[in-house]
Amino acid sequence: MENIEKIIKQYKEKEIDLIQVLHNIQNDFNYLPQDVLIHLSKALHIPLSRIYSIATFYAAFSLVPRGKHLCTVCMGTACHVRGAPAVLSRIEELLGIKPGETTTDNNFTLETVNCLGACALAPIVVIDGEYHGQTTVNKVDKLLEKYVRKEEKTKGI
Amino acid sequence: MISITINGKEFSAKKGETVLDVCRREGIYIPTLCYQEDLTPYGGCRLCIVEVEGMPRPMTACTLPVQEGMVIQTDTPRLKELRRFTLELILSEHPYSCLVCEKKTDCASYMECIEKEAITFGCKYCSANGNCELQKLVEEFGIKEIPYQFKYRNIPVEDYDPFFERDYNLCILCGRCVRACAELRCAYVIDFHHRGPRTLVGTAFNLSHIDANCQFCGACVDACPTGAMRERYNKYLGKPDKVIKTHCMLCSIGCPINAETRENKIIGTTPDGEPLCVRGRFGIAPMVNHPKRVTVPLLNKNGQLVEISWDDALDIASNILKEYKDRTGIIFSHDLHIETINSLSTFGEISGIENLGVEIQNVENFETLCLAKTGKKIAIIAVNFDLIQDFSVFLLRIKRALNEKPVVILVDPIKTKSAEIVDLYLRPEPGKEIEVLDILLSEDNPCETGGIKKEEIVTARKLLARREVCLLYNPYNVNINGLNSQVKCYPIFGILNFPILNSGKLSSAEDIFENDGIECLYLIGTGIPPMKKYKKVIVQNCFLPDFDFDLFLPAATFLEVDGSFIDLFGNEKKLYKVCEPPGQARADEWIIKNIIERLDFELPRKNHKYHPGRVNEKEKPDSEYPFYLIVRENTFKYRGKVLSKILTGFKRIHHDCRLWINPVDASRLKVENGKPVKVIGKDFESVVEVWITDNVPEGFLFAYHDREKGLVKNKRVRVECL
């Protein structure tokens, strides 16, 4: 809650956009919790319906908790023709979730986007903001394994 | 002046007008769906497209400002084709099959074929059938077939809120409801959420409208061009066959309404130029047509109520009044017509009944509020009343009159709905309101007073700076006589006809009750129970009272009689007869006139005695009575009947039949939400349902004025679980 007060203060002083405030909150919480948005609406005198409208409009915002690692698969035209559906279904198989879902251990969230604007690298998979171009089903296996290992290490297995 | 050419004819237009404005004014037809006169243009439905010379593609007329020398075509074959295409696309997501069925004209009277459509695919069973703007456009464009596959969105119908239901499967996303909620009401309850094909209208986090703080004013329902939003009460009552302009009498503001009738029965009320609140929009028709309304004269024969004829009833009434002449007390309600009040004073003169009392409290130094432009910027301080719940249209009226949003500060120990809407909410300790106001309005150094922090006073003073301060208060809830500051004070309350009733010539209801010489009561339009045993009680009202009586005379409501009343601003408002009174109910005036005719005695008129209203002195804390009960005026009433007691919707949005208690006190006493408890004071005892809320401070209880339950003034009480 301390962080929110800081974010709100920033908003009032520098007059940054509501969208930026939401980004800041999402960075802190990994998603947009309902009670935080209600608090925000009261503090900034912005109707809750308007905040909810903006939060649901942009795919970048999530109203449900997301996993530690965000895995985004581009499904744009270029990626699509170069094999993105196969890559996506492989990832679905590996993680056991569908796009928009989070694994039960809260480690991975899978999402799809319509275009990342880097069609030369198609098909693209982005994990935690890192772009991996020209992926194939085999490459995806290795890529994900790296992250799964990392998680296991932190758990001390 | 700008001159433009529309369809080859020249017109002059003002700067800032849109092409659609000019066309509407000049009677040039352009179809629209998302346009509503009092809302900002949206350009969403794309039906109002026009061709402008020099522009590469058609423009939406509703968002296109006029420019000098514009040459506009509104009805070319290309535009017709485009509009038709757009409407077909809109219909591909709105159940349409009955709209375009070739047998639809005959289907209304008899079903000629056996091909039945599912309810979800057509308008045969849609509540907006006949009122739907889409239906009219389909008719106009002559659409016989939609070339696209229909997509049913399968959204569950939202039927859990009182007053209106929402079926967003019928929504065409024109955004009129969203803009009406934001622009007309400043309520911001609904907005669009999600995007693209998943776009929907709804509240934040899909909360129910009650939880989203909806005022249930119905602005969204009135704005909807389809059947997506629909009033529950008249959902299947059909189209009105007559609309009569009159005024709402359910509170002292007296908003103009359009009363819609069908077959001489009121089926609904809609706003007439001015915004309405929940009472005027959703309360009138259900109340007037309420199944519990009594429409025959009733006589109490040894505890049995028997129906009698008017002749008998009037004879019995006049005989009782003859017998008890000067031992009779008349108590009437403030919300009668002026004509009835006048005939009552004549009645008093002729019959010699001098004990004429009205159910109000006298207010001294009364000044009516004038909403005329002052030229200055205004700041409003509202003290001890719920500006939003009780008078939701009041702020909107001020805003409209001043053409700007005034600063509003609320000072109230009870946290009401208004607290979240005002610019600043100050919550003083109960009883310290005047101290806080004095500090707030003085030039002294700010200091902590009555539970208000120094910083809050500083913020409030900043808001008030360089503005003309108006203090609005409810004289029933707070006594501002002790206020030292020089500030314009206006009393705001739910009493109608106040200038007539406050003249000092009339006694109050208490005076009548305290007069031991009175043995017979004649109650007109009030639900006020007798405080002691009377030999005879005559009641003249719309609903049966909760106490014993000897004779009941069924009265008409304000929709069934011509008349007038005086509103809060001192203006006389006319009331017109919208429908006939049901059954044998009669106008108050008619009843009184007929009783007078049957009274054949005359007595010299005596002067009325005027008793000044008593000031409630605050009692000291007492271990036997640990709670201090705060009682406030209930403005959700008509002729003494609390709306929540007859209409369930009001009970759900307004906790006016409940005792508000702080969660801390509640857990200490182990009372549960919604359960009845016993409230015991020195002079009364009653059972009330509790509502646990931190809107009321610890050690205090809150309730709306309810004479039947003995909740009449602030006093010390104790609470016992049942």
Each residue's pLDDT tens digit, B683-722: 888 899 999 998 898 889 999 988 778 888 888 899 988 8
Residue B223: in which H helix or E strand, if any? Answer: helix B219-223
Backbone phi, then psi, for B31, in 5-degree steps? -70, 145
Total residue length of chain B: 722
- Interchain CB contacts (distance < 8 Å): A and B: 38
CA distance B408 to B413: 16
Q: Quick one: pLDDT at residue B235?
A: 85
> What pLDDT does A156 receive?
63
The residue-averaged pLDDT of B396-418 equals 85
- Kindly list the distances between the CA atom of residue B522 and the CA atoms of A23, B224, B227, B321, B532, in Å, as whole numbers in the listed order: 68, 47, 47, 9, 14
C-alpha torsion sign, points B195, B198, B201, B203: negative
Asked which of B223-227, B386-390, B619-623, B713-717 is least confident by mean pLDDT, the reply is B619-623
Q: Residue B349: CB partners within 8 Å, gap ≥ 6?
A: B605
With CA atoms as reference, report the closest residue to B568 among B368, B277, B307.
B368
Give the integer Cα–Cα distance in Å for B305 and B297.
Answer: 10
Task: Give me chain B's average pLDDT, please.
Answer: 86
Helices A18-29/A2-14 angle, 10° precision? 160
B68: exposed, middle or buried (Cβ count in 10 Å: 0-12, 13-18, 19+): exposed
Of B437, B537, B532, which Cα lies nearest the Cα of B480?
B437
Q: Say yes or no to pLDDT of B270 above 80.
A: yes
- List, edge to edge, every strand of the sheet that includes A69-74: A108-113, A69-74, A125-127, A130-132
User: What's the pLDDT score for residue B612?
Assistant: 34
Taking CB atoms and an 8 Å limit, are B195 and A51 in contact across chains?
no
Interface-testing mutation among A12, A18, A36, A49, with chain B (most B C-beta atoms within 10 A): A49
Other CB atoms within a 10 A radius of the CB of residue A119 amount to 15
Q: Along chain A (157 residues), what's the average pLDDT of each consecutive run of 10 residues? A: 78 77 89 92 89 92 89 92 92 90 89 89 89 90 86 72
Contacts of A47 in chain B (CB under 8 A): 182, 188, 191, 204
- pLDDT-based confidence at residue B608 (cuts at 50, 70, 90): very low
For Cα atoms B703, B707, B711, give the angle at the middle one, nearest 5 degrees. Answer: 35
Cβ-based interface (< 8 Å): residues of B facing A? 182, 188-195, 203-205, 212, 420
pLDDT for residue B370? 66
Residue A56 touches partner B, C-beta closer than 8 Å: yes
Condensed to tens digits (0 to 9), the pLDDT of residues B44-92 reads 999 999 999 999 999 999 999 999 999 999 999 999 999 999 999 999 8
Asked if the Cβ–Cβ distance from A52 to B204 is below 8 Å, we say yes
A42 touches chain B (CB under 8 A): yes
* Radius of gyration for chain B, computed over Cα atoms and rounded to the nearest angstrom: 29
* Beta-bridge partners for B717: B627, B681
pLDDT score at B291 = 93
Cross-chain residue pair B212–A51, CB shorter than 8 Å: no
**What structural domains and CATH numbers belong to chain B?**
2-125 (3.10.20.740), 164-288 (3.30.70.20), 298-362+498-555+583-598 (3.40.50.740), 378-491 (3.40.228.10), 627-721 (2.40.40.20)
pTM (two decimals)? 0.87
Closest-CA distance, A105 to chain B, in angstroms, reads 26
The structural domains of chain A, with segments of one domain joined by +, span: 2-57, 69-155
Higher-confidence residue of B512 and B295: namely: B295
Q: Which of A42, A48, A57 sits opposite B204 (nearest CB)?
A: A48
Report which of residues B304 and B405 the model is more confident about: B304
Q: Compute the distance between CA of residue B278 and CA of residue A11 in angstroms, rounded to an integer.
A: 36
pLDDT tens digits for range B306-355: 999 999 999 999 999 888 877 888 889 988 999 898 888 887 777 777 77
Contacts of B505 (CB under 8 A, 6+ apart): B608, B610
Chain A residues lying within 8 Å of B204, measured CB to CB: 37, 47-49, 51-53
- Chain A CB contacts of B195 below 8 Å: 56-57
- Return the minimum-mean-pLDDT range out of B403-412, B593-602, B703-712: B593-602
Across the range B255-260, mean pLDDT stands at: 94
CA–CA separation, A75 and A123 (whole Å): 8
Query: Does the pLDDT value for residue B489 go beyond 70?
Result: yes
Place of tokens 């077909």: B88
> CB burial class (10 A; 0-12, 13-18, 19+) of residue B57?
exposed
For B720, other C-beta atoms within 10 Å of its C-beta total 12
Higher pLDDT, B179 or A8: B179
Cα-based distances in Å from B76 to B34, B43, B73, B79, B405: 21, 20, 7, 5, 44
ipTM: 0.85
Other beta carbons within 10 angstroms of residue A12's beta carbon come to 11
Distance of CA A73 to CAs A67, A137, B462, Å? 15, 12, 53
Question: pLDDT-based confidence at B172, cuts 50/70/90?
Answer: very high
In degrees and rounded to multiples of 5, residue B324 shows phi and psi of -100, 0
Segment B597-612 shows an average pLDDT of 50
Burial class (CB in 10 A: 0-12, 13-18, 19+), B14: exposed
Cα–Cα dist B381/B634, whole Å: 20
Looking at residue B615, its pLDDT comes to 37
What are the pLDDT digits (tens) for B205-247? 999 999 998 999 999 999 999 989 999 998 888 889 999 999 9
What pLDDT, on a 0 to 100 scale, did the predictor assign at position B400?
78
Task: Give the model confidence (pLDDT) of B658-676 as tens digits.
Answer: 899 999 999 998 998 889 9
Q: Does domain A69-155 have CATH number 3.40.50.1370?
A: no
pLDDT band (50, 70, 90) for residue B492: confident
